[in-house]
Amino acid sequence: MITLTERLETMISSKHDISSENEMAMAVCQAIDSSRYNFGLEPIHILGSDTESSSELLPMEYLLRPSGTDGHNLDLAEGLSALRNLGLSSMFDMAVIPRAIEQALSYGDAGLPVSVNIAPESMNDSLFLTELGIYLSHLKEKISNPSDIVFEVPFAGQTTNEAKEWLLQVQEMGFRIAIDNFGKYEPIEISSISRVKPAFVKIDGGLINQAMNGLIGAPSKLRQVVEGIRHSSPKTRIIAPWVASVEQAQRLYQVYHIDAVQGRELPKDRAYFSSQWAFMAYGQKANSDDLN
């Protein structure tokens, strides 16, 4: 079976393009082929005070972290950009996605549920959709709960009918879908949310950041996006990324009715986040009682 490195070497050789970006892409592919990588785990924290919500465990997003021969992390963003320009995103995804899922399954309950990313270019690749679909049909027979696997798919402004049908088929198998970057592109794909009815929608991080910083127009746009999702798919959980503090999470919950949050600066330990959230809610209730 041809490796990522061999496929990339062929592409670069045919184009005679030895740029720094392509060199980074080569280093990333070599890291995957040589198993020099791990996955950074970023939890999604549920918000709310009712027993059912607070006890629900949302997916842990697995983020690829390839390393060079010296052990230092590689610039994945630069490498992925080069792979995208060479039309190799889907090949890369097909190599990485099963590895992320297999690592999560190896942790047992501690690694589940898991969320893995699919590149927008891959969603427009019929061969990729077919290959991943075959992989998932086999995976479904091996695991007890397919809903523990969540595929995070970015909306890039125009989702094809083929991609939407594929998402529906994946959900019929029992796996779950999360839509990423929602609200970033115009027109906002509310009709796609209505058709797919994903388990989760992650609102564009830039919009969350702008609303939190009070940028003119951003708070009302965020409210419009949230209301559109609620109307089109009432059971869908709405996630806010790029959240920097429990205080921001509380504002998003109280003002915009966001269901869950995610952010690099938030605690990695779910129990610790829950304790901070509960402490804040208790403090707010105590202050309210003092006023009565």
Question: How does pLDDT run across 7-53, given as a tens digit for each residue?
Answer: 888 887 776 567 888 899 999 999 999 999 999 999 999 998 654 55
**Selected residue with higher pLDDT from 141 and 49:** 141
* Residues β-bridged to residue 182: 203
Tens-place pLDDT, residues 214-229: 888 889 999 999 999 9
Residue 170 has pLDDT above 50, yes or no: yes
Q: CA 121 → CA 117, 161, 265, distances in Å?
A: 12, 14, 29
Provide the mean pLDDT of the chain: 89
Q: Span 120-126, mean pLDDT?
A: 93
Q: Please state at what angle helix 89-106 crosses helix 76-85, rounded to 10 degrees.
A: 140
Instruction: Compute how many other C-beta atoms are within 10 angstroms of the C-beta atom of residue 7.
Output: 17
Residue 51 is predicted with a pLDDT of: 44
pLDDT at 21: 84
In whole angstroms, what is the distance from residue 265 CA to residue 275 CA? 16
- Of residues 282 and 96, more confidently modeled: 96
Average pLDDT over residues 145-166: 90
pLDDT value of residue 16 = 59
pLDDT in tens, 198-252: 999 999 999 999 999 988 888 999 999 999 999 999 999 999 999 999 999 999 9
pLDDT the model gives residue 205: 95
Sign, CA dihedral 267-269-275-281, equals positive
Query: Which of 21-25, 257-261, 275-279 reaches the highest mean pLDDT?
Result: 257-261
The one-letter amino acid at 28? V
Distance CA 183, CA 21 (A): 29
| CATH pick for 4-291 out of 3.40.50.720, 3.20.20.450, 3.50.50.60, 3.90.180.10 | 3.20.20.450
Q: How confident is the model at residue 193 (pLDDT cuts 50, 70, 90)?
A: very high
The predicted structure's pLDDT at residue 286: 44
C-alpha 51/C-alpha 75 separation (Å) is: 41
Top mean pLDDT of 83-87, 96-100, 281-285 is at: 96-100
Burial code (b: 16+ CB inside 10 Å, e: under 16) for 195-227 equals bbbbbbbbbbbebbbbbbeeeeebbebbeebbe
